[in-house]
Chains A and B, each alone.
Chain A
Amino acid sequence: MMSDTFEPKIVAFVCNWCTYTGADLAGTSRMQYPANVRIIKLPCTGRISPLFIMKALEQGADGVLVSGCHPGDCHYTAGNYHARRKYTIFREMLHFLGVEPERLFFSWVSAAEGRKWADLVAEVTDTVRRLGPRRSAWGEPVEGIAAPRLSANPVPFEAPAGTFAAQAEAMREKAKALLAGGEVGTVIGYEQGTLPGTARPAFVSTPEEVDRLVWNEHCHQNLAVYAARKPAKPGKVALVVKPCDERSLVGLLQENRLAREDVVLIGMACHGVQSEGALAPRCAACQTRTPALADPVIGEATPPTATADPRLEQIARIEQMAPAERWNFWQGHFSRCLKCYACRAACSLCTCERCLAEKAQPRWIPAPPDGAGNLSWHAVRAWHLAGRCVDCGACSAACPADIPLYLLNLKLAQVVKDAFDYEAGRDPAAAPPLTTYREDDAQEFIR
């Protein structure tokens, strides 16, 4: 068990108006509590970014406490409502990655609740003391516990014969018409890839070049990644999209990255894509085989199957692991990360001109491809995609190190769906879940 001399280091991020004042009240009333907490004051929990929590853990904190005004009492009216949503997702993510949930505390402490503050600090200190020090440096595996492996059961790929060919024909017709008519300057679609059995993105700008375009089970790339960029040739852009790719477009529209009239969508009714000879796992449970925004939609989709998403089973298995095992699982994968940022490049929703990973002051994400840097990178990437990722699979496909990025993204998508009843990429008019709130958002985890 733990030695008696271990004194946990707890960092507390508190809001100025309620909790800080409540802590002052505890002081004025001379209530005694353990000396392990270091308070960092911010104006509002709305300012207490989950990145702070991550950084505190990275810098050696054994426990983190975040506290602010009770919902409805925020000095800035809504800061804590927004913070609540962020913490709901972020703590689930950290738990999924293997951080013991008992190391993170969230509370609402008002300016009048000096007693609550003192008791809370005592409880937090005691809990974390019993958990022991953070088992390892941020991003290092735990000694003596093996990283488990997950396997997937492949589902065979099936599409009615001739379907792809007919769709490809119609798609090329449409592309030719758009280019010839001057409606668009560039059509972005798929062409035969370098290796047999692959496809790759193609940029055609004349009707003659259109013949290069193909459509088949290898067209897994999400071409929406090019949607928000300025094309090389003048004029609008037409994009060949599968339903999942189209959902990225919805996200881009929500985030003002482009206007709907800037892009023509050639929607392809989908039969799933192939991965390692079988139906890609993300396609197995997909229920949206027909694009909703695109015009035209070419072809008839293969109806969705009733198969359960095999990846959910993998997530469930991770969730059954104890925190140390989970930690090792993820460290095992992240240790192969080269920091090539292919995942970022492939993601259509990563459109920031200056990514946070490139921000040097302060350096939230250490640059080197070591344990700390990789963990921080992937944690922040998944966090930034929470409520936005449309499960197009581009990141996982692009990763040269075969890191199962989809697991993390899918887990957070689940959390967002359960907590806020929101699915990314469905409604261009919907407010992204982390920019809105409901007064009755769940908060069982907040004391």
Chain B
Amino acid sequence: MARVGVFICHCGENIARTVDCARVAEYAATLPGVAHAVDYRYMCSDPGQRLIETAIREHGLTGVVVASCSPHMHEVTFRRTVARAGLNPFLCEMANIREQCSWVHEDREAATAKACELVRLMVEKVKWNTALEPIHVPVTRKALVIGGGIAGIQAALDIANGGREVILVEKGPSIGGHMAQLSETFPTLDCSQCIMTPRMVEVKNHPNITLYTYAEVEKVDGYIGNFAVTIRKKARCVDEALCTGCGECQSKCPQGKLKTSVIPNEFDLGLSRRPAIYVPFPQAVPNVPVIDKEHCRYFQDGKCGVCQKVCPAKAVDFTQTDQVVTEQVGAIVVATGYDVMSSGEYGEYGGGRYPDVIDGLQFERLLSASGPTGGEVKRPSDGKVPETVVFIACAGSRDRSHGVPYCSKICCMYTAKHAMLYKHKVHHGQAYVFYMDIRAGGKNYDEFVRRAIEEEGAVYLRGRVSRLYQKDGQLIVKGADTLSGQPVEIAADLVVLATAIQARPGSDALAQMLKVPYDGYGFLSEAHPKLRPVETNSAGVYLAGACQAPKDIPETVAQASAAASKVLGLFSMEQMEREPTVSVVNERTCIGCFDCERVCPFGAIEHREIRDRRGNLLKVVSHVNEGVCAGCGACATTCRSGSIELRGYTDEQVFAQIAAVGV
């Protein structure tokens, strides 16, 4: 038998001015199932709350309706109040007679009548409320970070320093990502390697971090707090435990003679060559080489084997095979970074045919002291120092015809940086920058660009380059200067294209593995563009860095720390507590059509086998994973047989409210 308590709040004058609260309380007392109805000046105050608590105990109330402000204001308050009195908090509902009644209607009669009805609706609903307990999901308090660039490194360090174990998986032979390829970073012109390598070393030495390099995530099962991840550690053919990083193997590899090697060095983006056994860059972490089997003579022809012979630590092991491991983790941070569009994409800019038309990342390698030219700016075709360099911004970005309508965010800044660094190295050189707009919105960013223009003398031309072509050993660049209204033709020795930042190939496959939505460009989607930038729709999977969208290093680091904080929040307790207003399936009536699975935005529907006592399969029905369900109710609406209910908003509850309108 229902014994509902109704509490009408005056909210001072806010409600009482237009709603006759005493009359509403009188009316409420007449409703079937209402055991107690009072009005009071300030329900949310201490005495007001005590009023409720006392009433619950004295009248043995089975449900409470507080008619006052919006539940967005005080639902939590009043639910705590009733809990203190021993009543399940989900047996307390609020009728909004302030924001949606007293404040928007002047007519006292109409407002009071409406308040009475709103109370009636809620009383009828609450009679169908059931006690709900928070859902506890156990959490494995270990995190997986996919990607060892600055985003992954930052996230891993933050989580590890927060006292939790982290597994960091990096596809390449070393962590460091693109940041390791940069020479100096804007706006400070810090040496990229210098600020990064301490972090890389910290990752390697951190007791809470397990580093898997040259490894890839193959499969992800499970859900938040309870992921099972399969990781393939590819065979380096070098024993990490024995290798001392002396580098003998690399220097003795016959494929490694610079003049004869055919193997393009990926780290230098094809501007130099490398041996078949190699470490990508000198500060690599771990400083253990890998053997590129596709180009290694031992693996291709069965010849050579020099590296094994010369290795003093006997670390080279041609028989090494891939190792597959499974790890149990509670949260996953995706930090797989970005790619740059190839400069060959633009037919107008040579279509990849001119060696002296390069992209921004290649120019970084030329500037870099550890790069193919030892930090001297020498052009790829003939090693000449370029006297005139043309930088073309927006080469690929903001261009629908190349499928990239978005802005790549970092190019204006790095182009200014390139112009500056070029001038630092080639004092008599002249830099030209063709730009559309200058996007320098960060701290000290605009000042940085002004420096390039005013102090380093870079000539900024507002206009696009229609095309460029090679003539007499130079690149003739034909563009426009819209500010002066003139076409411009520049004979350049080197052209640097700020090509678009793109998602890495395979980002869609990874997203599918993690059940994370991604956009048409391959960037992984955040749960909400403003308010939830590091979470995804897949509970327990977080995003950090450029895999979500192009961004610079400060933003990447901030986002990585944010993701780490989400992970640490999740890990703050052994069990995750979730609101119980989730869906539940009536397994008896469910026929397993799985339309619910199709509509669930969160992938919370699982298949459950129903077997008889002998183990025969009777049917496969839907089952809601309470750890993942977000409580939207799309499943309940879709289910034709009414076999799914959303707790807190069941059909009975809503039906009761609708029926109450008609009275």
A and B in contact, CB less than 8 Å: yes
Beta-carbon contact of A33 and B638 below 8 Å: no
Beta-carbon contact of A52 and B649 below 8 Å: no
Beta-carbon contact of B658 and A55 below 8 Å: yes
Q: Taking A27-B98, A38-B661 as contacts, is the C-beta distance between A48 and B637 under 8 angstroms?
A: yes
Q: How many angstroms between the C-alpha atoms of A24 and B595 in the bound complex? A: 34
Beta-carbon contact of A42 and B649 below 8 Å: yes
Q: How many angstroms between the C-alpha atoms of A225 and B511 in the bound complex? A: 40
- Return chain A residues, CB-CB under 8 Å to B634: 44, 46-47, 76, 78-79, 82-83
**Interface mask (A368-387 → B, CB under 8 Å = 1, otherwise 0):** 00000000000000001000
Q: Taking A11-B661, A362-B651, A432-B598 as contacts, is the C-beta distance between A47 and B632 under 8 angstroms?
A: yes
Q: Does A354 contact B (CB under 8 A)?
A: yes
- Return chain A residues, CB-CB under 8 Å to B104: 26-27, 30-33, 35, 118
- Return chain A residues, CB-CB under 8 Å to B632: 43-44, 46-47, 75-76, 79
Q: How many angstroms between the C-alpha atoms of A395 and B517 in the bound complex? A: 41
Q: Bin chain A's interface residue count.
A: 35 or more
- Return chain A residues, CB-CB under 8 Å to B101: 27, 35
Q: Does A203 contact B (CB under 8 A)?
A: no
- Return chain B residues, CB-CB under 8 Å to A356: 640-642
Q: How many angstroms between the C-alpha atoms of A26 and B631 in the bound complex? A: 26
Q: Taking A11-B658, A27-B100, A82-B638 as contacts, is the C-beta distance between A352 and B599 under 8 angstroms?
A: no
Beta-carbon contact of B642 and A27 below 8 Å: no
* Chain A: minimal CB distance from B258 (Å): 52
Interface-side segment among A56-64, A163-171, A334-342: A56-64
- Return chain B residues, CB-CB under 8 Å to A352: 589, 591, 640-641
* Chain B: minimal CB distance from A389 (Å): 13
The one of A24, A42, A256 in contact with B70, judged by C-beta atoms closer than 8 angstroms, is A24
Q: Taking A43-B646, A353-B591 as contacts, is the C-beta distance between A23 and B633 under 8 angstroms?
A: no
**Interface mask (B598-634 → A, CB under 8 Å = 1, otherwise 0):** 1101100000000000000000100000000011111
Q: Does B206 contact A (CB under 8 A)?
A: no
Q: How many angstroms between the C-alpha atoms of A24 and B72 in the bound complex? A: 9
In chain B, residues 562-614, which have Cβ atoms closer than 8 Å to a Cβ of chain A?
A: 581, 588-589, 591-595, 598-599, 601-602
Q: Does A153 contact B (CB under 8 A)?
A: no
- Return chain B residues, CB-CB under 8 Å to A55: 655, 658-659
- Please report whether the interface of chain A is mostly helix, strand, loop or mixed according to DSSP: loop
**Interface mask (A12-52 → B, CB under 8 Å = 1, otherwise 0):** 00000000110111111011111100111111101111001
Beta-carbon contact of A61 and B593 below 8 Å: no
Identify the interface centre among A21, A46, A257, A353: most chain B CB within 10 Å of its CB: A46
Q: How many angstroms between the C-alpha atoms of A244 and B642 in the bound complex? A: 28
Count residues on chain B whose CB falls below 8 Å from chain A CBs. 61
Q: Does B652 contact A (CB under 8 A)?
A: yes
Q: How many angstroms between the C-alpha atoms of A26 and B101 in the bound complex? A: 10
- Return chain B residues, CB-CB under 8 Å to A355: 641
- Return chain B residues, CB-CB under 8 Å to A40: 121, 654, 657-658
**Interface mask (B138-170 → A, CB under 8 Å = 1, otherwise 0):** 000000000000000000000000000000000
Beta-carbon contact of A43 and B70 below 8 Å: no
* Chain B: minimal CB distance from A416 (Å): 15
Beta-carbon contact of B658 and A59 below 8 Å: yes
* Chain B: minimal CB distance from A439 (Å): 11
Beta-carbon contact of B658 and A49 below 8 Å: no
- CB-nearest residue of chain B relative to A351? B591
* Chain B: minimal CB distance from A18 (Å): 12
- Return chain B residues, CB-CB under 8 Å to A354: 588-589, 641-643
The one of A25, A38, A49 in contact with B637, judged by C-beta atoms closer than 8 angstroms, is A49
Beta-carbon contact of B72 and A77 below 8 Å: no
The one of A20, A35, A86, A364 in contact with B72, judged by C-beta atoms closer than 8 angstroms, is A20
- Return chain B residues, CB-CB under 8 Å to A26: 99, 104
Q: How many angstroms between the C-alpha atoms of A363 and B594 in the bound complex? A: 24
- CB-nearest residue of chain B relative to A15? B632
* Chain A: minimal CB distance from B181 (Å): 35
Beta-carbon contact of A27 and B658 below 8 Å: no
Beta-carbon contact of B641 and A23 below 8 Å: no
- Return chain B residues, CB-CB under 8 Å to A59: 658-659, 661-662
- Return chain A residues, CB-CB under 8 Å to B110: 35
- Return chain A residues, CB-CB under 8 Å to B58: none
Q: Does A436 contact B (CB under 8 A)?
A: yes
Identify the interface centre among B598, B599, B602: most chain A CB within 10 Å of its CB: B599
The one of B105, B107, B591, B599 in contact with A435, judged by C-beta atoms closer than 8 angstroms, is B599
Q: How many angstroms between the C-alpha atoms of A83 and B637 in the bound complex? A: 9
* Chain A: minimal CB distance from B71 (Å): 8
Beta-carbon contact of B118 and A38 below 8 Å: yes
Beta-carbon contact of A39 and B96 below 8 Å: yes
The one of A78, A353, A362 in contact with B655, judged by C-beta atoms closer than 8 angstroms, is A362
- Return chain B residues, CB-CB under 8 Å to A60: 661-662
Beta-carbon contact of B641 and A38 below 8 Å: no
Q: Does A446 contact B (CB under 8 A)?
A: no
- Return chain A residues, CB-CB under 8 Å to B641: 352-356, 359
Q: Taking A26-B104, A47-B633, A59-B662 as contacts, is the C-beta distance between A38 and B649 under 8 angstroms?
A: no
Q: Taking A24-B72, A55-B658, A76-B601 as contacts, is the C-beta distance between A256 and B592 under 8 angstroms?
A: yes
Q: How many angstroms between the C-alpha atoms of A245 and B599 in the bound complex? A: 27
* Chain B: minimal CB distance from A89 (Å): 13
Q: How many angstroms between the C-alpha atoms of A78 and B662 in the bound complex? A: 32
Beta-carbon contact of A353 and B661 below 8 Å: no
Q: Taking A23-B99, A23-B100, A356-B642 as contacts, is the C-beta distance between A56 and B598 under 8 angstroms?
A: no
- Return chain B residues, CB-CB under 8 Å to A82: 599, 634, 637-638
The one of A46, A257, A384, A436 in contact with B640, judged by C-beta atoms closer than 8 angstroms, is A384
Q: Does A172 contact B (CB under 8 A)?
A: no
Beta-carbon contact of A353 and B599 below 8 Å: no
Identify the interface centre among A35, A49, A56, A362: most chain B CB within 10 Å of its CB: A35
Q: Does B114 contact A (CB under 8 A)?
A: yes
Beta-carbon contact of B638 and A32 below 8 Å: no
Q: Does A434 contact B (CB under 8 A)?
A: yes
Q: Does A3 contact B (CB under 8 A)?
A: no
Q: Does B113 contact A (CB under 8 A)?
A: yes
Q: Taking A35-B111, A56-B661 as contacts, is the C-beta distance between A361 and B652 under 8 angstroms?
A: yes
Q: How many angstroms between the C-alpha atoms of A15 and B661 in the bound complex? A: 18
In chain B, residues 204-243, which have Cβ atoms closer than 8 Å to a Cβ of chain A?
A: none
Beta-carbon contact of A61 and B661 below 8 Å: yes
Q: Does A255 contact B (CB under 8 A)?
A: yes
Q: How many angstroms between the C-alpha atoms of A354 and B585 in the bound complex? A: 13
Beta-carbon contact of A24 and B100 below 8 Å: yes
Beta-carbon contact of A35 and B107 below 8 Å: yes
Beta-carbon contact of B637 and A35 below 8 Å: no
Q: Does A431 contact B (CB under 8 A)?
A: yes
Beta-carbon contact of B114 and A38 below 8 Å: yes
Beta-carbon contact of B581 and A27 below 8 Å: no
Q: Does B636 contact A (CB under 8 A)?
A: yes
Beta-carbon contact of A256 and B594 below 8 Å: yes
Q: Does B299 contact A (CB under 8 A)?
A: no
Q: Does B408 contact A (CB under 8 A)?
A: no
- CB-nearest residue of chain A relative to B581? A43
Beta-carbon contact of A435 and B658 below 8 Å: no
- Return chain B residues, CB-CB under 8 Å to A75: 528, 632
Q: Does A9 contact B (CB under 8 A)?
A: yes
* Chain A: minimal CB distance from B405 (Å): 16
A–B pairs, 19, beta carbons within 8 Å:
A20-B72, A23-B99, A23-B100, A24-B100, A25-B99, A28-B103, A34-B105, A35-B113, A38-B118, A38-B121, A39-B96, A40-B121, A40-B654, A46-B599, A60-B662, A78-B599, A353-B589, A363-B655, A436-B598
Q: A44-B633, A118-B104, A256-B593 are in contact. List 7 more A-B contacts (CB 8 A).
A: A26-B104, A43-B631, A59-B659, A60-B661, A60-B662, A82-B634, A431-B598
Residues of B within 8 A of A (CB): 70-72, 96, 98-101, 103-107, 110-111, 113-114, 117-118, 121, 517, 527-528, 537, 581, 588-589, 591-595, 598-599, 601-602, 620, 630-634, 636-638, 640-643, 646, 649, 651-652, 654-659, 661-662
8 tightest Cβ-Cβ pairs between the two chains A and B: A27-B99, A47-B633, A59-B662, A46-B634, A362-B655, A435-B598, A76-B632, A352-B641
